[in-house]
Amino acid sequence: MIKEFFGSSRTGKTIRFTNTLRVERPAGVVFGYLADLRNLPAWNYAIRETLPVTPGPARRGSVYEQTRSLPRIMRERLEIVEFEPDRRLVMEGGFGPFQGRATYDLTGSGTATDLVNEFELVAETLHAPSGLVARGMAGAVAKNLRVLKDILETSPTGR
C-alpha cells in the first residue's frame, strides 16, 4: 500500500517528499520496467512521450528527453545518474517547473518488491507555501505509482 505522504521539508526553495509501495512482482521486473524510461507515459499521466537520446540500453549516463503535458506543455531532459540493477535507480533533470532528483530504491523479498520513491526538487520561485506544494506533488506521484503497481501486477512482463 502506498503511504500517501510521509512528510516534506523546505530548505530555501527545495521540496522533498517520499512515497512507498509494495509491488507483487520480483525486483528485477520492477527495476527493468522503471529503468526503461520510455515506459513513463504509461504510468505518469502528465508525461506525453519519453525518448532516449543516448543509444543502447538504459545505464548510468543515459539521457532521455520527454514531453510533459501538465502543468503545461514543455520539454524536459532526464539523466540516469545511478543505476544499480534490481536495487536503485536515480534520475536528475526537469520535473515540470522544477529541477531535481528522483530516486527509486527497491528491496525484493522473492515475489514482491518494496519500492521507496524520493523526490528532491528545486524551484526558481515558489509562490505557494512549500508544504502545500509538496503535499500536492506527493499525492500526484502516489497516484502515478498506483498506476505503475497495477501495470506491473496485471501483466506478466510488466508491459
Task: Read off the pLDDT of each residue in 49-63 and give the average, rounded to a whole number.
Answer: 97
pLDDT in tens, 80-126: 999 999 999 999 999 988 899 999 999 998 899 999 999 998 876 65
Under 8 Å between Cβ of 17 and 44: no
Task: Read off the pLDDT of each residue in 122-136 and give the average, rounded to a whole number.
Answer: 61
Segment holding 146, helix H or strand E: helix 130-154
Q: What is the pTM of this model?
A: 0.86
Residue spans of beta strands (DSSP E) within 6-112: 9-11, 14-23, 47-52, 63-68, 74-84, 88-95, 98-108
With H, G, I as helix, E, B as strand and everything else as coil, classify residue 38.
helix
Give the model's pLDDT for residue 15: 85
Q: Can you read off the three cell numbers belonging to residue 24? A: 507483487
Q: How confident is the model at residue 132 (pLDDT cuts 50, 70, 90)?
A: low
Q: How far is CA 150 from the centre of its chain?
A: 15
Q: Can you read off the three cell numbers belonging to residue 87? A: 536495487
Give the model's pLDDT for residue 110: 87
